Amino acid sequence: MDPVTDLESGDRGTTGRFERLYRFHGGLVLPGQHEISTVLPIKAAGIPPHLVIPLLQHIGETSECLVKVGDPVHKGQIIAAPRGNVSVPVHASSSGTVVALEERPFPHPSGLSFPSVVIETDGRDEWGGHPHSLPDYRQLSPVRLLDHIRAAGIVGLGGAGFPTQVKLASGTDDRVDLLLINGVECEPYISCDNQLLQERTGELLEGTRILRHILQPRDCVIAVEADMQEAERALREALRASADTGIQVVSVPQRYPSGGERQLIKVLTGREVPSQGFPSDIGIICQNVGTAAAVYRAVARNHPLISRIVTVTGAGVNQPRNLEVLIGTPFSHAIAASGGYSDDVDRLLMGGPMMGFAVSTDAVPVIKATNCILAVTREEMPPPAAALPCIRCGKCTEACPADLLPQQLYWYARSGNLDAAQDYNLFDCIECGCCAYVCPSHIPLVQYYRHAKTEIWNDEKQKQAADIARDRHQAHQERLERIKRERAERLARRKKAVSGSDSARLDAKQAAIQAALERVKKKKERKGIVQKNVDNLTAEQAEKVREVDRRRRHKSPPGEH
């Protein structure tokens, strides 16, 4: 079915049957190379001698390592715990011994290394106990299932690596209009989702039913591309056999990048995801078909996400095919399982020719976001031509599926005007490569956008670090002021207590002095009375009184003299 004109603003476009499709801006029709890797069935890549498992394979916080060198590990064991809400655990993909905790080459456009757990496998591939399924998922609450999905380390397998439980949780609070299972593989060469749909249809459908139980959406759609006829046929036959009418299969036109989340939502519903927003903002939850199958294995078999299907293809390998690869397997091992390199291999990429990036060594490991290993020859994919000055032809704007202004973004990214680049919605760019593909000047536009995003992220991290340092300094100053204030209050209380004690002692002393003065006064008064009485006595009586007084003073007994 050919796409028709866009819906007018405000039209929801969700009829429940999705018979009418819509057109997103821009995009390209690219020659497909899917068939060369779908001739053979999915094959297990086997156990490599060493697994290199990075501690960060998802968007969010790095997982916290739980093992040390020399520790034995078993298959499925948690070797790194989640840190924060946007994080998931990391599991050992096979049994063996931890032989290193160090930075290793990481499959990323930056080419940087990243902290990893290196496991020397023992070949036994032993689980730590017998994996068991949960009780019937229909008897469990969404919260319980989300906790289990997180514990299984499941992230989006479409390439972004966003923790699945976080995305699902965003749809459990509000009404979900549409659960969209994305099976559209629009980029040339990649066929892992296509082959999963054909060979593991039951797993995908059961995983989709689990997601439906969690979200309770009004509609549920599995979308495939028009050239994926075998996958579409397998889905329709399985749904017909199970008499499941709650899931609809929709085939979308073959146009790159219709597999992008925002573009696919536009094609199916005619609705736009808000800039800097999420599909959940408009009542839609989108999950990759591989993610849905991983949810099934986590719930039905209690298997964490320790492997994924990877397309190993290109003229640079002898036997292009799809492999089930353990997470942490070096690219070299996966290529060897596909017949090894051809004689004229030139470059190695992770991902497809449009959104993929070159890796400098095949020692980098397969991670959860690895959907394709592409080995190309120089004839198959010539090196990029030298960039020429921009001629302002506007072809990049016409091709941009996010309806941006790539030329303006290029100028701002190149000049380092990052604020202006953000004003032109830099972060709405999905890095699909359409602009660079059509650029007659061969300008590597996506590289400029990636660099600008990285600079903005780094600036934001530095700002956050500065904010944390400022908050810590402020808290330190407040703590010092509080200590000083409390010390002054204690000193004042002590002075007050001492002052009260001294006053009491002074009052007691003054009272004693006053009492003594009173006694002296009374004594004098008595002496005066006595003297007055003596003066009134006869001479003989007075002499007797004086005699008595002398004896009293000398304590002489009467009659001594």
**Tens of pLDDT along 212-257?**
999 999 999 999 999 999 999 999 999 999 988 899 999 999 999 9
Range with top average pLDDT, 160-164, 317-321, 555-559:
317-321
More confident residue, 65 or 559: 65
Pairing of strands 321-326, 357-358: unpaired
pLDDT for 172: 65
The whole-angstrom separation of Cα 27 and Cα 24 is 8
What is the chain's Cα-based Rg? 43
The whole-angstrom separation of Cα 62 and Cα 57 is 8
Please give the average per-residue pLDDT across 179-184, as a whole number.
Answer: 96
Per-residue CA distances from 400 to 160, 335, 428, 432, 437 (Å): 20, 34, 11, 9, 11
Instruction: Evaluate whether residue 186 is within a structural domain.
Output: yes
Tokens 């990391």, located at residue: 90
Say if residue 151 is in the same domain as residue 279.
yes
pLDDT at 10 over 50: no
Instruction: Evaluate whether residue 275 is within a structural domain.
Output: yes
Instruction: Evaluate whether residue 5 is within a structural domain.
Output: yes
Domain's final residue, options 248, 277, 302 = 302
Least confident of 131-135, 225-229, 420-424: 131-135
The whole-angstrom separation of Cα 54 and Cα 35 is 32
Instruction: Evaluate whether residue 545 is within a structural domain.
Output: no
Nearest of 58, 34, 107, 40 to residue 353 by alpha carbon: 34
Confidence band for 12, pLDDT divided at 50, 70 and 90: very low
Say if residue 180 is in the same domain as residue 281.
yes
Contact (CB, 8 A) for 66 and 81: yes
pLDDT for 13: 37
Nearest of 248, 261, 263, 264 to residue 16 by alpha carbon: 248
Extended strands (E) in 186-320: 219-225, 248-252, 284-288, 307-313
The whole-angstrom separation of Cα 93 and Cα 178 is 34
- DSSP labels, 132-183: -PPSPGGGS-HHHHHHHHHHTT-B-TTTT--BHHHHHHTTTSS--SEEEEE-
The whole-angstrom separation of Cα 515 and Cα 522 is 10
Give the three-class secondary structure for 317.
strand
Kindly report the average pLDDT of the chain as a whole number: 88
Query: Which H/E stretch holds residue 503?
Result: helix 445-535
Say if residue 288 is in the same domain as residue 158.
yes
Instruction: Evaluate whether residue 297 is within a structural domain.
Output: yes
Say if residue 143 is in the same domain as residue 246.
yes
Say if residue 397 is in the same domain as residue 296.
no
pLDDT for 536: 64
Number of domains, the chain: 2
Instruction: Evaluate whether residue 251 is within a structural domain.
Output: yes
pLDDT for 534: 59
Instruction: Evaluate whether residue 290 is within a structural domain.
Output: yes
Secondary structure letter of residue 256 according to DSSP: B
The whole-angstrom separation of Cα 421 and Cα 414 is 10
Nearest of 153, 161, 163 to residue 90 by alpha carbon: 153
The whole-angstrom separation of Cα 466 and Cα 461 is 8
CATH code: domain of residue 1: 3.40.50.11540
Least confident of 293-297, 365-369, 446-450, 460-464: 460-464
Structure tokens at 436: 């660079």
The whole-angstrom separation of Cα 426 and Cα 423 is 7
pLDDT at 304 over 70: yes
Say if residue 144 is in the same domain as residue 17.
yes
pLDDT for 272: 92
Instruction: Evaluate whether residue 178 is within a structural domain.
Output: yes
Q: What is the pTM of this model?
A: 0.80
Contact (CB, 8 A) for 231 and 194: yes
pLDDT for 461: 80
Count of residues making up the chain: 561
Residue range(s) defining the domain that contains residue 516:
393-523
More confident residue, 559 or 449: 449
Give me the sheet containing 90-91, strands edge to edge.
Answer: 64-65, 78-81, 90-91
pLDDT for 521: 81
How many CB atoms within 10 Å of residue 111?
14
The whole-angstrom separation of Cα 154 and Cα 298 is 8
pLDDT per position as a tens digit, 452-482: 998 998 888 888 888 888 889 999 999 999 9
Confidence band for 4, pLDDT divided at 50, 70 and 90: very low
